[in-house]
Amino acid sequence: MSIVVISGPSGAGKSTIINKASEHIGSFYFSISTTTRAPRVGEVNGREYFFVTKEEFEDDIKEGNFLEFAKVHDNYYGTSLKPVLNALNEGKLVIFDIDVQGHKLVREKLNKITTSIFITPPNLCELELRLKNRSLDDDEIIKRRLENAKKEIRSIKEYDYVIINDDIDRAAKEFVSVCNAARLKLSNEEIDKIISFWEKS
């Protein structure tokens, strides 16, 4: 059972990297987050996110249905627990695209099987350029995203790996390498079984 958490500023290229690497990382489940923010143009419920109301989200919090959740830019984002457990039991690599707050919560609950990657453009100017070029947000939202990125970058030491996305092909190859390594990571229980079998053979 293996989990890969990726975090990084909005506009870092996380989705592009996953899409480019998807054919080379074996069977995996990409955990779709639930959010209270409005869908962007072209986004489909159940594909990019599960879109719900604030009331629905807070009800799920009370019922303990989230592995992790956080409030970002006045909207909730969270990871539903049931599909994650199902995927892990099926032996799939589970990939999370979550923020630094979510990473800390996953570490608290599933640290033994979690490998984490922080993905970032080479610098703040490049991030600003990418956010403006994708034309998804107005100037005020871009400003907030940049301020949030300045805070997120301070958490980079909490991650196992860092990928500087200044070349998408190289970044995707590095991502594949980390995913392959994550699959080899063993829980303490699995290690104990190996030791027991080795000693008795």
Q: How many helical (H) and strand (E) elements, i.e. helices and strands, does the chain have?
A: 8, 9
Question: pTM value?
Answer: 0.77
Confidence band (pLDDT; 50, 70, 90) for 33?
Answer: confident
pLDDT for position 185:
79
Domains in the chain: ranges and CATH? 2-188 (3.40.50.300)
Specify the DSSP element, H or E, that contains 161: strand 161-164
pLDDT for position 200:
80
Q: With 0-12 CB in 10 A as exposed, 13-18 as middle and 19+ as buried, what is 25? A: buried
Confidence band (pLDDT; 50, 70, 90) for 51?
Answer: very high
d(CA 117, CA 129): 23
Alpha helices in the chain (DSSP H): 14-21, 54-62, 81-89, 100-110, 124-133, 139-152, 168-184, 188-200
Q: Give the number of other Cβ atoms within 10 Å of residue 135's Cβ.
A: 7
* pLDDT above 80: residue 188: no
Task: Encode pLDDT of 83-116 as tens digits.
Answer: 888 898 898 999 998 888 889 888 888 888 899 9
| Percent with pLDDT over 90 in the chain | 37
Q: Which residues, in sequence order, are bridge partners of residue 7? A: 118
pLDDT for position 170:
95
Task: Encode pLDDT of 136-156 as tens digits.
Answer: 777 888 888 898 889 899 899
Q: Which residue has the tokens 């594949």?
A: 176
Confidence band (pLDDT; 50, 70, 90) for 37?
Answer: very high
Confidence band (pLDDT; 50, 70, 90) for 32?
Answer: confident
d(CA 105, CA 142): 26
